[in-house]
Amino acid sequence: MGHRDFKRSDRVAAHLRRTLATAIHQNLPDEDTSFITISDVEVTRDLSVATVYINTLDPSQEKLAIQTLSLNAKQLRKVMAQELNTRKVPELRFKYDASLEYGRKLEHLIQKARATDPNLTEEDS
């Protein structure tokens, strides 16, 4: 057997990410999900649990997004069952991905440090 670049769980995670992104916006018509995006999906090796990392346009909507998705997890899982060609459909767990806010904070700190550095020239920035 040759070396595989991707594990099966990675392929399932990628497929779940694409399918869930569509399903969240198309299969939850009673919910406002326009502010939710999926940043990543991680699936356990046995395909029993999928952790779905989400972002929102406004960080203050984090709790609303997690609550909305958690309440509709069974419905989303049914959609996944129709889309995936696997025996098991992973349990969906939703977590907020704070990496965007973290990146913004770092960028702000870098800009602040550059602005206060007297030795920094125009060419350095």
Confidence tier at 1 by pLDDT (50, 70, 90)? very low
> In terms of Cα–Cα distance, which of 51, 15, 57 is closest to 36?
57
pLDDT at residue 79 greater than cutoff 80: yes
Query: What number of other Cβ atoms are within 10 A of residue 13's Cβ?
Result: 21
pLDDT at residue 78 greater than cutoff 70: yes
- Rounded-to-integer distance, Cα 49 and Cα 86, Å: 13
Which residues of 64-125 form beta strands (DSSP E)? 91-96
- pLDDT tens readout for residues 4-42: 556 888 888 999 999 999 999 888 877 888 889 999 999
- pLDDT tens readout for residues 46-73: 889 999 999 988 888 899 999 999 999 9
The residue-averaged pLDDT of 112-116 equals 86
In the structure, how many helices (H) and strands (E) does the chain have?
Answer: 4, 3
Comparison of pLDDT for 113 and 122, the residue scoring more: 113
pTM of the complete model: 0.77
